[in-house]
Every structure is written in C-alpha cells, then in structure tokens.
Structure 1
Amino acid sequence: MYRHLLVPIDGTDLSTETSSNAIDFARTLGAHITFFHAQPDYAAALDGEAEIVRLTSPAKFAYTYEWRVRELLAKAEAAARAFGVPCGSMTAVSDSPARAIIAAARDAACDLIYMASHGRRSSIGMMLGSQTLKVLVNAGMPVLVSATSNPPVPSQVLDVIRDEHRSLAAVLHAWLNLLDAERDAGGAADAELMRTMIHYLKTFSATVHRPKESEYLFSRLRRRSSRYDVDLAELDEQNADHQRLIAELEAAVERHLAGAAPLADVREAVASCERSTWEHMEQVEGRILPGALNHLTPEDWDGIATAFGEGGDPRFRRDMGNEFRQIFSRIVNLAPADGAA
C-alpha cells in the first residue's frame, strides 16, 4: 500500500482540483503527501516575458514568479491539514518539470507520484501532456494520473469555494507559524501585521466567502432538497460560533498589544479559529458540496457561475478582491513554512 505521495501542483486553475483529489486519495490510504512545485529559472533568463516584467515592474515580478509559489503550496497544505492528512512541501527551480518531479519523489522517498494531466480527450481516451508522459516513462516508480482537463461548470464553482476555504485556513496557519517564530526568537509581535490578518479573516469571510456559500450555493440546495436542512442549520450555528472566535481573537490581540495578555493567549485564539475553519471545511466539502452536485440543476450551476464571474455579483469582481489577494500573499510569504516533508 502506498504511504507517501508526491503531488506536483502548478499555477493553473486546476491546481485546487488536483490537490483536493490527491488529499481524498491519501486520506483513504492513510498516506503522507509532499506537495511539489517546479518553477522555471526566470532569473537566469535574459529575454522573454519574465525579464520584461522584472525590469518594468519588480513588484509584479516578485508576485507572479516568486510569491505565487508559496501561495499555491500554502493552500494545498491547508487543505491536507484540515482533513487530517500529514503533509509537507518542496520546490525546485528547473526548466525540466518532469526531471524535477522525479528527483523530488526520490529525494522525499515517495512511493507514488500523483499528478494531473492537462491533456485533451480524444476518441480513444486521454492524450497525456508531454511532462506527464515523461514522468510516466522515466519515473521508475508508480505514477497515478488524474485527468483534470476542461472541468465542467459545477467543478469550477466548487473549486472557487474550496480555494477560499484554503485561503482562510492558510492565513491562520501562517499566523501560528509567525507566532512560533517570534516566540522562539524572543521578538515582539508585529502589531500592524496582526491587525491586518484580523481584517482579512473578518472582511474576506463576511464580504466574499460567506455570501457565495449562503446566498448562492446553500440557498439553491435548500430549494432543491430538504435532506440537508439539518446540516445547513448546523453550518449557520457554526458560522455564528466562528464569528465569536474571531471577535475573541481580535480582543486577545488588543490585550496583548496593550501589555495585558501574553502572546500565548493570541496563539491559542488563532488555533481555535483554525480548528473552527477545519470543521467548516469538513462539513461543507464532505457533505454539502457532494449534495449540491447531486441535486442542483444545470440552470442552478450556470446561475451561480455567472454570479461568481466578472459580470455577476459586484462583490466578487476580480478588482474588488485585489486587496485580499495582496494581504494573503504578504501573510503566507512572510510566515516560515512548516518545512519539507
């Protein structure tokens, strides 16, 4: 039985689905996951788009070609932790993703590579992408290929919900790592950063994530089936409890900054919020999302997708989310990672 999976993830919109499928698979096996990202050596390139971006917009270059990697891995790790799957992550700079994937699997002593293929389907089945095919031919160990190309509208909608879950969980875990690093170094907590994290947790959840779930997904599921009424009522209670925990966290931060409470109180409050987020993820992703797939109609999914898109609900437009993306990126890139598996 496989005990340690290497799961390569990339920067495409399919990375959420790939990591979710791998986590489900690892959970059934009781296996460990090492998430891996191979990044081209943009810094060594003397021409091309990356060099143009680096010269004209250093901040954009840092995000697109450097910070984005940590975001991808942080979200994947957050999902694995939420579902009780032990995990770690690795990165490598390489212009040959297939070779880098194989080398990482061997270095981490993995016994299975679980990867997606973005190849198209034909009349005779799936056409593997070139990198996937190279891994299959040269790995020298079992490779499980998950076909994730051209996801249907319901999958696209559910990946939005999953991705937001992972963002919230990743911020909380990054906060714990920052607090532990500050404690070990004997330094003082960054007041501005902690207040920024509180702002993210409160505002992103209230203005972006919860409306998508409650006003669009949950409301349609209630109309289509009464089977999930108890679960949805529990989620309402859970949400109220989570808001209470966030308020307690904010109060703990302010008490600490005023010198009236130790940093350990802040850490315990963050940990409580993380556990609450995990419970929400497990309830929604384990029960509600499968129920939605069973009961919602194509018209329902199209309506939700439209609301989530650029021309839909103005709360969810990309330009409205720039602040949240910047905050998320700053937090997960400032925090020390858990380390390689």
Structure 2
Amino acid sequence: MYRHLLVPIDNTDLSTVTTGQAVEFARSLGARITFFHAQAGDASSLQGKAESRARELLTKAESAARAQGIPCSAVTAVSDAPYSAIVSTARDKACDLIFMASHGRRSAIDVMPGAQTLQVLAGTEIPVLVTTSAGSPAAAQAIGILQDEHRSLAAVLHAWLFMLASAQTQGSAADAAWMKAMLHYIKAFPLTLHHPKEQKYLFDKLRERTSALNAELDELERQHERDERLIADLASLVDQYAAGSAAVGDVEAAVSAYAKFTWEHMGREEGVILPAAQRYLTEEDWREIDSAFAENKDPHFDADTDVEFLRLYARIVDLAASSKQ
C-alpha cells in the first residue's frame, strides 16, 4: 500500500479541499506526505509576494497534517512547467503516489482533468490519484474557506508550540509580546468571527435539514463556549509569565492542552459535520454559507489585510520554516 504521498498545492481554493482529502487519506493508510508548490520563475518585484504566499500555503498544509499526527514535509520549486516539477519532485523524494486535484471542468458525465493534471498523468510512471471536490461549486468554495480558517489557527498554534519548546531547550525567555499577538489573533478571528458564523450558518442550516446531528452539534457548540474560557485562562497565564510569576513550562503545558483540544474539535467538524453537510444541505444553503464566510477576510497575505496580522503571519511562517532546519 502507499506509504509516501506527494501532494501538489497551488493558490486556488481547491487546494485547501485537496489538502484535507490528502490528510484523511494518508491517515487511513498510515502514510506520510510531502507537500509541493511550484511557483513561476519571475524576477519582478512580485516574486517576494509569491514566495511569501507559497510559504504560507505550505505552512497551513503542514499544520493540517501535523494536527492529525501525520509525518510531513514541504518542498518548493521555481518552474514555468508545474507538471514537470511535480513529476521530478515525486521521483526525487521517492514518493509512491501523487495525490492531486483535477483542476478541470465538469462535463455531463464526469470531471475532466485540467491540462497540468493530464500532463502529470502522461509523464510519470508513479501512480496518480486524481481527486475532485464533491458537491456543487458553492459547497466546495464554502468548505475550502472553512478548512482554510482551520489551517490558519493550526499554523498559529504550531508556531507557538515551537517557540515555547525552543525557549525550554535553550533556557531562554519566550516572547510575551508575540504570545499576546497570537492571543489577539485567536480572539479576533476564530472566537469572534469563525465560531459564531459556523453556528449561525452551518450548524443552524443542518438543524433545519436533519435532526440526526443534533447531539454532535450541541457538543460542538459547548466546545465553542469552552474555547472562550480556555483562551481567557491562557491570556491570564501569559500575563503572569510576562510579570515573572509563571514559568515558560507552565505556558507550554497550557498551550499544548489547548492545541490538543483544538485539533480534536476541528477533526470532529471536518470528519463528521462537513461530510454530513454535503449530504443534507441545498445549493442555496451553500451559497449563503459561502457568502457569509467570504466576508471574514481571514488575516493572511491579502492586499487588504491588517498590517499587524501580516507581520504576525510573516513571523509565524518564518518560525515554521526554522522548525524544520
């Protein structure tokens, strides 16, 4: 059976869905993943932005895998022929399966693979699993946004844990100001925007369509309430650490416990709720959910992103890169 997957990702929303599918597939097999991103060779001033975006995409993908305990790594390449770079990387990394999205168009009978996917299929002896997003375009878009927001939070928590572990190993102080910035992100985005919209649009829509998930939804809503209490406790502990009345080990233990709680919560949403939503929700439901979440503007590398969040994310991505050296 397959033991090492190469998963190409790009800048499209479809890659977020593909990452989730690949992580679940690798978990079922006990396989590891190498995520791959190819960026065009461009010497212009836009190259720096492209590199930053690539680091962000790969950081989120790795965070999704690590949250499920899946060994993973990430590779980038500069290439104007992505299909060739995908094939070469799969060979170089001794991958035994390429797991990629179709990026094609839907016909009357099936999904037709896009040009890059077809060229990969034609150009490699390595097996290729071409995946598609189930359901309507609105469903795929909405699920992609939801999963991307999960990846953002996962990236923050992984960077926080790495920073604390490094401080423990080196016997140095952790950056309290940065920890407060991370807490600000969690309060301002997942707690203030993501959770309420999940309940109002996704959870409530599901309750309207079926009662089969009521117990699961009740538990997830209780976890949302608990999330707020845990973050309040974490904020208090960080304040104590900054004042010198708490040790870095205390903070690390608390962040580890919060991360474990978060991984399990997101796993239930992605493993139970989203598949059920694809069965029960209508096209109109998905359009409404997509519209609501598209307004969130999760703080990553977009032109209209708050400068404070941009700086935080840049540091998170750099820290994640350092953790693999």
1:330: how far off? Answer: 2.4
Q: Mind listing any 5+ residue stretches in structure 1 that lack a counterpart? A: 46-50, 55-60
What are the within-5 Å matches in structure 2 for residues 11-26 of structure 1?
A: 11-26=11-26
1:263: how far off? Answer: 1.2
Pair 297,252 (structure 1): closer, same or farther in 2 beyond 3 Å = same
What are the within-5 Å matches in structure 2 for residues 1-341 of structure 1?
A: 1-42=1-42, 45=43, 51=44, 53-54=45-46, 62=48, 64-122=49-107, 126-148=111-133, 152-310=137-295, 322-323=305-306, 326=310, 329-337=313-321, 338-339=323-324
Counterpart secondary structure, 1:89:
strand
1:168-203 Cα offsets, whole Å, 9 max, x none, are 111101111222233444443222211100100111
Pair 235,122 (structure 1): closer, same or farther in 2 beyond 3 Å = closer
Preserved contact between residue 149 and residue 298 of structure 2 (Cα < 8 Å)? no
Counterpart AA for 1:136: L
- Distance in 2, Cα, partners of 1:222 & 1:151: 20
The CA RMSD measured in Å over matched residues stands at 2.7
1:32-87 Cα offsets, whole Å, 9 max, x none, are 11111122232xx3xxxxx2x45xxxxxx63x312111211121122222333322
- Distance in 1, Cα, partners of 2:116 & 2:319: 31
TM-score by length of 1: 0.85
1:129: how far off? Answer: 2.8
Aligned length: 321
1:275: how far off? Answer: 0.7
- Distance in 1, Cα, partners of 2:305 & 2:98: 35
- Distance in 2, Cα, partners of 1:148 & 1:296: 15
- Distance in 2, Cα, partners of 1:215 & 1:150: 21
- Distance in 1, Cα, partners of 2:134 & 2:287: 19
Pair 183,40 (structure 1): closer, same or farther in 2 beyond 3 Å = farther
Counterpart secondary structure, 2:70:
coil
Aligned twin of 1:57: none
1:317: how far off? Answer: 9.2
1:203-233 Cα offsets, whole Å, 9 max, x none, are 1112220122011111111122221111111
Moved more, 8-17 or 132-141: 132-141
Preserved contact between residue 222 and residue 229 of structure 1 (Cα < 8 Å)? yes
- Distance in 1, Cα, partners of 2:183 & 2:29: 36
Preserved contact between residue 64 and residue 151 of structure 2 (Cα < 8 Å)? yes
- Distance in 1, Cα, partners of 2:312 & 2:274: 25
1:58-117 Cα offsets, whole Å, 9 max, x none, are xxx63x312111211121122222333322222222333223222222232211111122
Identity of aligned residues (%): 50
- Distance in 2, Cα, partners of 1:27 & 1:255: 38
- Distance in 1, Cα, partners of 2:55 & 2:79: 16
Preserved contact between residue 4 and residue 96 of structure 2 (Cα < 8 Å)? yes
Counterpart AA for 1:171: V
1:127: how far off? Answer: 4.0
Counterpart AA for 2:260: R
Counterpart secondary structure, 2:324:
coil
Preserved contact between residue 65 and residue 71 of structure 2 (Cα < 8 Å)? yes
Preserved contact between residue 112 and residue 143 of structure 1 (Cα < 8 Å)? yes
Pair 263,40 (structure 1): closer, same or farther in 2 beyond 3 Å = same
